[in-house]
Amino acid sequence: MKEKKPNPMARIWEIAKPEHGKLLMSIILAVLGVVSGIVPFVSAAKIISGMISGNKEWSYYLVYVLAAFIGFALKSLLYAMGLSLSHKAAFALLGEIRKQIFAKLPRMPLGTIIDTSSGTLKQIIVDEVERMERPIAHMIPELTSNIIGALAVWVYMMIVDWRMGLICLISVPVGLLFFGFIAASYSADYKKSVEITQDMNASIVEYVHGIEVIKAYSQSKSSYQKFKDKVMANAAFYCYWMKKTEVCQALCYTIAPCTLITVLPIGWVMYVSGSISAEVFMTSIMLSMCIVGPILAAVQFTDSSAKVATTVATVDKLLSGEEQEHSKTPVNFATHNIEFCDVSYSYHEDEEVLHHVNLMIPEKSFTALVGPSGSGKSTVAKLVGGFWDVKEGSLKMDGKDLKEIPLEQLYDQVAYVSQDNWLFDDTIMNNIRMGKTSASDEKVREVAIASGCDEFIRALPQGYETKVGSGGAHLSGGERQRIAIARAMLKDAPVVILDEATAYIDPENEAVIQRALTKLMKDKTVIIIAHRLSTITNADQIVLINNGTVECAGTHRELLKKSALYNSMWNAHISEGGAA
């Protein structure tokens, strides 16, 4: 039995729960506005009927003229008030949804974020959430009020003359029949449009981020062609979609609200034959025109309602995505011993990258992880950092499973420095202060001096207030790395993970950075992933990881004696100019 999918509008109403009061009031005001909008038409019918019957009393016409004016004024006022409330509710809700998404992202496994392109995330957070504004601010109050308004007019017509009431409805189902042809494939087409737009956005982001490589390797023509193909595919799909729907859409919008096409000829025949009076005929004409506006507005919202399912599903998929499940109760740490107990791990179900890893990392020890590229070293380090949760086996800190430690508290225990540290497009002062947001300017300068940053920072035009550009683009690789180390020093976490932190540092900067790292590592539990074996020969233990398993562990001398793979790695390092 298939699981029943939730109604998209019901889901939007559920998401909008904090704003139900404003939305309900906006619906009430909108309904009253639509009803008020009927008054001028009824008044016009009465005035015309009076003229046909030869009524010459000014007071009779004055009453209906005033009623028409008041009805029109109330319609405008109530509509504006209702729309104002619904928009306040909608924008408050969009802000809340975006806050929920940004709060959600840090709780999701890092692998999920990595597997999702930044273009796709931008599409969801900015564009898809923005698309919810129309259903919330317009569809809920306006569609509801237009349906109720049209129904109220029709009921009144049925009271005036039930035959004219039925005649007035003939064009509506005929017009909506054409929209049914569109609706049959609309959801699938709209879903495809979202996917192809996300694909285009991802291509745009990739093209912009990779512009340096593109220029350096003279690949502008081929890279631009790839980018152009995505944009053209997006445009081609929308052209195809519009051509596919334009005829039926035009017929729907033309025929559905065209109530006079039946009311005028049939009503005239009935009036001439004496079946209805002139007043009933005129009232029916005017009331049928009252239905035109609400029906046309309601039909226009069918386009939005068809999009809602995809929009809600896309946003919901992110909001309901897998989270890292950790205890909420803080724990006390006596030590920071780290222990892997028969840990196996997969980023994806069919790709296990770690197999039955058993490893002990004592507190305040220096542990180096080495091994061939892709062997699982970074995965081991990132599991310790809490970027993913272990699903098979257990990973402990101070004898406590990491899942027993609240995520925020776990992050406080670990300072992570990689070869590709991200710097925000902010001042150097604020980038370092990311390590501890409560730190004073003096404390930031203190760690900058300790990490070898102070000299080059003071040489910059604005010193510590210099903006580094997106990702730190205005700084050299060595400068970015020293700022990342300063940030980790400011954090002063008991566990330090260095993921090939000196992989791409030039010799001039390496000595400065090594001195900074020595200060950062003092009295800490240190895990280093190194490709230069000469930098970790003094480690308390070196763990050789190969094909996702711990092949052996020991000191540098011990591994040289008992591991052929380590021996070959060391000899290769020496032959490339590494220090012996």
304-314 tens-digit pLDDT: 666 676 777 77
How confident is the model at residue 252, as a pLDDT?
Answer: 75
% pLDDT > 70, the chain: 89
φ/ψ (deg, to 5) at 344: -120, 145
Per-residue pLDDT band at 494 (split at 50, 70, 90): very high
* Average pLDDT rounded to a whole number, residues 416-441: 87
Contact of 466 with 428, CB cutoff 8 Å: yes
Residue 185 pLDDT greater than 70, yes or no: yes
* Residue of 430 and 189 predicted with greater confidence: 430
Residue 504 pLDDT greater than 70, yes or no: no
* Residue of 332 and 323 predicted with greater confidence: 332
Residue 140 pLDDT greater than 60, yes or no: yes
Residue 162 pLDDT greater than 60, yes or no: yes
Minimum mean pLDDT among 111-120, 146-155, 376-385, 427-436: which range? 111-120
Residue 207 pLDDT greater than 90, yes or no: no
How confident is the model at residue 534, as a pLDDT?
Answer: 81
* Average pLDDT rounded to a whole number, residues 40-49: 82
How confident is the model at residue 206, as a pLDDT?
Answer: 74
Round to whole Å and give the CA distance between 478 and 85.
Answer: 53
Q: Measure the N-to-C terminal CA separation of the chain; round to a whole number of Å.
A: 68
The amino acid that residue 131 corresponds to is R
φ/ψ (deg, to 5) at 36: -60, -35
pLDDT, tens digit, 9 for 90 and up, residues 253-276: 777 777 778 888 888 899 888 888
Distances (CA, A) of 318 to 102, 118, 336, 454: 10, 13, 34, 42
The mean pLDDT value of the chain amounts to: 82
Residue 63 pLDDT greater than 50, yes or no: yes
How confident is the model at residue 507, as a pLDDT?
Answer: 62
Round to whole Å and give the CA distance between 299 and 293.
Answer: 10
Residue 497 pLDDT greater than 50, yes or no: yes
Which residues, 6+ apart, have CB-to-CB distance to 468 below 8 Å? 423, 424, 425, 426, 427, 428, 431, 474, 475, 480, 483
* Average pLDDT rounded to a whole number, residues 26-40: 84
Per-residue pLDDT band at 387 (split at 50, 70, 90): confident
* Average pLDDT rounded to a whole number, residues 455-477: 86
pLDDT, tens digit, 9 for 90 and up, residues 64-104: 899 999 999 998 899 889 888 988 888 888 888 888 888 88
Residue 280 pLDDT greater than 50, yes or no: yes
How confident is the model at residue 220, as a pLDDT?
Answer: 61
How confident is the model at residue 344, as a pLDDT?
Answer: 92
* Average pLDDT rounded to a whole number, residues 401-416: 90
Q: Residues 338-575: name the CATH superfamily.
A: P-loop containing nucleotide triphosphate hydrolases (3.40.50.300)
Whole-model pTM: value is: 0.64
* Average pLDDT rounded to a whole number, residues 19-37: 85
Residue 58 pLDDT greater than 70, yes or no: yes
Residue 6 pLDDT greater than 60, yes or no: no
Residue 466 pLDDT greater than 60, yes or no: yes
CA angle 427, 429, 432 (to 5 degrees): 110
Locate all alpha helices (DSSP H) within 320-387, ordered by sequence.
377-384
Round to whole Å and give the CA distance between 74 and 138.
Answer: 19
How confident is the model at residue 543, as a pLDDT?
Answer: 93
% pLDDT > 90, the chain: 18
* Average pLDDT rounded to a whole number, residues 37-57: 82
Per-residue pLDDT band at 1 (split at 50, 70, 90): very low
The amino acid that residue 108 corresponds to is M
Round to whole Å and give the CA distance between 380 and 543.
Answer: 11
* Average pLDDT rounded to a whole number, residues 217-239: 77
How confident is the model at residue 508, as a pLDDT?
Answer: 64
Per-residue pLDDT band at 2 (split at 50, 70, 90): very low
How confident is the model at residue 502, as a pLDDT?
Answer: 62
Residue 376 pLDDT greater than 50, yes or no: yes
How confident is the model at residue 479, as a pLDDT?
Answer: 83
Locate the DSSP E strands across 364-410: 366-370, 392-397, 400-401
How confident is the model at residue 580, as a pLDDT?
Answer: 46
